[in-house]
Amino acid sequence: MSPIGGMNETKQDRGGIKRRDWLLGATLVSGSAVVPVLAQDGFEQPPEAPPAPQPAPLAIQQTKLPNGLRIVVLPRPGATRTAIRLIGDGGWLRDPAGKEGLAEVALAMLAQGAKRDGELMESADIAYAGDLLGLPLRLELTPGGAELVLEALPDQCDDAVNLMADLTQRPTLAFESLEHMRSRAQDALVLRRADALLLAPWVARRAFWGRSQPVQTSASLKRLKREDVLAFHRQYWRPERTVLLFAGDLSLETARGLADDFMADWRVPKAPPPTTTPAVALASTTPPGATTPTAQFLQLPQGQGCRLIVQTAVPRGTPPVLRALARELMHQRLASRLPWPWDSEIESLGGTFCWRMSVTLPVSAVAEQLALLREQLPMIAAEAVSPEDLAMAQALALGDWQARLAEAPDELLARAIAAGELEDCQQWPQRVRAVSAPVLQLLMSASWRDNRTQLLLIGDAGPPEPAQRAWPGLSLATMRAVIGE
């Protein structure tokens, strides 16, 4: 479940080598050959390189159908395939209280059966139709949205949009499909409870957001009825709450024509659909993680690894580019001080941002890493941001944005749309370069204080005493306390 702003912003370890260290190494390697030549020309140091050209803003185009369906196009001249996403509002944050897991089950059921021209398409037919386009149909669930994802050659885009229309406008949502998807979800729960890597994100969210974080359980899945799925579908798969996104070699006019052909008759119901109240609406709007530091150890014997997590709150209203630069710089500093491959992400559920860093450790390294982390974390955050630090963070943020734009532009735009930050995504290079070192320093120094930091240790980390000595205040937690069962 898944990078800019309110979306999950993730960063994997790049080895912890700072840009200035790399430049110094390059000078030492090549200096004997280059410096004498420059000295003969009267230079004491190489001339500065000309500034790199700034990427142009993304030429995103948008329009709407009369029924409210929003169409977003990122033209990519020369692209051999077109990525297409149909994005609805039914993410897992919409799970009703007591029926957590409904969003996941309802999305999975779309691919289990639908009708086309009155004829039934079974799950095998739907899978075959996706395979004919070259890549299988993907269903992706995010906190705020549910997505159907396909890729197609230019002359197959009509088939892809037609299939998406069938699945969202004419799904069967049969009782047998509910039972099948419920069984699969329950099996996944069993696996998650035994695997530290699978369990860690859910534990971290529950620790930060408390009960406003919906967590599915066996009991909540058992409560799901077909009427719940039908109501959820009518409430969230509506044209005025849906975005049709294209990234490929096509024009806005062509995309609009495809939407007109297959989705223009997708009507807004005259009567309002039955509504469900999301669990998040019943919970406190102030996340406990924003003000309550905790340190918990959830033991999982034979838990297939141990996951160490630290997380803190980021102030509301922090611009996406500032969050990204702080995450890049903090990640590089942490990777250079602690010799393990750390992951870093900034996640938003309901407007409050959680900055989370995590690493998988063997049992033998847990106590040492806890002690080192406790010593280094506040020092790293308080360290002054130099012009070189800022330049490195800007280069990494721009490189990450360009890599995602080249590899999966549809995913990049989908996350920006979900967060309401499409304009920031379009203007990303310009906005990254506009951030100053003092502003970045302010956010860095305000984070990762003792009174704002949560620590979680999940998995098989051996007896608790060494970890508790390394991180005073670390308490044992139970599965029921963090997950609910």
**DSSP structure string for 413-445:** HHHHHHHT-HHHHHTHHHHHHT--HHHHHHHHH
Is pLDDT at 64 greater than 80 in this prediction?
Answer: yes
Which ranges constitute the DSSP H helices of 210-349? 218-222, 226-236, 252-263, 279-282, 320-337
The per-residue pLDDT for 288 is 46
Task: For tokens 């739907």, name the residue.
Answer: 126
Q: What is the pLDDT of residues 413-471, one digit of tens each?
A: 999 999 899 999 999 999 999 999 999 999 999 889 888 899 999 998 889 999 999 99
How many Cα atoms sit within 13 Å of 403 on the Cβ side?
8
Per-residue pLDDT tens over the stretch 349-384: 867 899 999 999 999 999 999 999 999 999 999 999
Contact call for residues 412 and 3 (beta carbons, < 8 A):
yes
Helix (H) or strand (E) holding 176: helix 175-194
**Residues making up the chain, counted from first to last:** 485
Q: Where are the beta strands (DSSP E) in 29-103?
A: 61-64, 70-75, 82-88
Q: What does the pLDDT average to over 255-278?
A: 81
Q: Phi and psi of 471, rounded to 5°?
A: -130, 90
Estimate to the nearest angstrom the gap between the alpha carbon of 178 and the chain centroid.
27
**The predicted structure's pLDDT at residue 47:** 56
pTM: 0.84
Could you tell me the maximum CA-CA distance found in the chain, to the nearest angstrom? 83
Return d(Cα 250, Cα 81) in angstroms, integer.
10
Q: What is the mean pLDDT of the chain?
A: 85
Q: What confidence score (pLDDT) does residue 26 get? A: 34
Using CB atoms within 10 A of its CB, is residue 186 exposed (0-12), middle (13-18) or buried (19+)? Answer: middle
| Secondary structure class of 33 (helix, strand, coil) | helix
Query: Which tens digits make up the pLDDT trace of 79-137?
Result: 999 999 999 999 999 999 999 999 999 999 999 999 999 999 999 999 999 999 999 99
pLDDT tens-digit profile of 399-426? 999 999 999 999 999 999 998 999 999 9
120-127 — which CB contacts under 8 Å span 24+ positions? 120/172, 121/166, 126/163, 126/167
Tokens of 153: 């050659």
325: tokens are 């630069």
The pLDDT of residue 289 is: 46
Rounded Cα gap, residues 307 and 220, in angstroms: 27
Task: Tell whether the torsion through CA atoms of 437, 418, 278 and 189 is positive or negative.
Answer: negative
CA 458/CA 195 separation, integer angstroms: 9
pLDDT higher for 477 or 17? Answer: 477
Contact 82, 410 (CB under 8 A): no
From residue 135, alpha-carbon distances to 129, 131, 150, 244 in Å are 10, 5, 7, 19
What confidence tier does 249 reach under pLDDT thresholds 50, 70, 90? Answer: very high
The percentage of residues in the chain with a pLDDT greater than 70, rounded to a whole number, is 82
With contact defined as beta carbons under 8 Å apart, do 410 and 343 qualify? no
pLDDT for residue 212:
74
pLDDT of amino acid 31: 35
Give residue 57's pLDDT band: very low, low, confident or very high (50, 70, 90).
low
User: pLDDT at residue 274 above 60?
Assistant: no
